[in-house]
Amino acid sequence: MKINIKEIDKIIDLRSKRDFEKDKEFYQSLKIEVVNIDFFVAPKEVESFDKEKSYLVVCDTGMLSSIIVDVMKSKGFKKVQNVEGGIENLKKLINQSSQH
């Protein structure tokens, strides 16, 4: 899985507020918009998002985010990507791409 963070407009983090807060520094280092949305309200919440923008959806493991990616695609979002392996994998992928 490859992620070009420069092509992402917004990251949607589905984890708990507490877990999200722990990674605030990491997210700030990316210099892109990040929103923390509860998984159960995400299907409704994303309806107000711009369908032309690109989104990266992350959770702890990649399971919940894959569901929301499917929901978003069914609502007409074209540029939406799940982070398989969750937040820890995202950190690894970002770290790897910044070393190249």
pTM: 0.93
8 A C-beta contact, residue 69 and residue 94 = no
- Looking up tokens 């790897």 gives 96
pLDDT tens-digit readout, 40-82:
999 999 999 999 999 999 999 999 999 999 999 999 999 999 9
pLDDT of residue 93: 87
| Class of the CATH-defined domain 8-98 | alpha beta
Average pLDDT over all residues of the chain: 93
Q: Can you spell out the DSSP letters for 51-78?
A: TTS-EEEE-SSSHHHHHHHHHHHHTT--
The structure tokens listed for 91 are: 């950190």
pLDDT at 5 over 90: no
CA–CA distance from 24 to each of 19, 28, 51, 88 (Å)?
A: 9, 6, 25, 14
pLDDT of residue 95: 76
pLDDT at 98 over 90: no
